[in-house]
Amino acid sequence: MTYNQSGFDLDEKRGHDTDAYVRFSKIGWVKISYSRPIPDHATIKKETTGEWFVSFGLETDAAFSEKPDMDSLDASNSVGIDLGILNYIHTSDGTTVEWLDLEDEYERLRREQRTLSRKEKGSNNWENQRKQVATVKRRIRRKVLDYQHKITTCLVREYDAVFVEDLDVTEMLEQSHNSRNKQDAAWRQFITLLEYKADLYGCHVVQVEPEGTTKACARCGVETAKPIWVRDHSCPACGFETDRDANAAMNVLKRGFAALGLGWPEETPVETVTVPRNSSSFWCANESKALVNATDTDDIHEVSASHVVETGSLVS
Confirm if 269 and 288 have CB atoms less than 8 A apart. Answer: yes
Burial of 219 (0-12, 13-18, 19+ CB in 10 A): buried
| Order of all β-strands in the sheet with 2-3 | 2-3, 41-46, 52-57
- Render pLDDT for 258-308 as a digit per residue (tens, 0 to 9): 888 887 655 455 554 444 433 333 333 333 222 233 334 446 778 888 888
Query: Cα separation of 260 and 3, whole Å?
Result: 43
Query: Cα separation of 13 and 21, whole Å?
Result: 9
Confirm if 295 and 219 have CB atoms less than 8 A apart. Answer: no
What pLDDT score does 47 carry? 78
More confident residue, 257 or 19: 257
Beta carbons within 8 Å of 92's beta carbon, 6+ residues apart: 79, 80, 81, 82, 246, 249, 250, 252, 253, 273
More confident residue, 39 or 26: 26
Query: Cα separation of 200 and 110, whole Å?
Result: 39
pTM of the model: 0.74
Confirm if 82 and 94 have CB atoms less than 8 A apart. Answer: no
The torsion defined by the Cα of 278, 284, 288 and 294, in degrees rounded to 10, comes to 50
- Render pLDDT for 121-174 as a digit per residue (tens, 0 to 9): 999 999 999 999 999 999 999 999 999 999 999 999 999 999 998 876 555 555
What pLDDT score does 265 carry? 56
What pLDDT score does 2 carry? 64
Q: Which positions are catalytic?
A: 82, 165, 245
What pLDDT score does 277 carry? 39
Beta pairing class for 52-57 and 41-46: antiparallel
* Max mean pLDDT range (67-71, 84-88, 173-177, 194-198): 194-198
Instruction: Please state the φ and ψ torsions of residue 98, each to the nearest 5 degrees.
Output: -70, 165
Task: Of 286, 276, 166, 294, give the one whose Cα is nearest residue 218.
Answer: 294
Task: Of 173, 204, 247, give the one whose Cα is nearest residue 78.
Answer: 204
- Render pLDDT for 238-256 as a digit per residue (tens, 0 to 9): 888 888 888 889 999 998 8
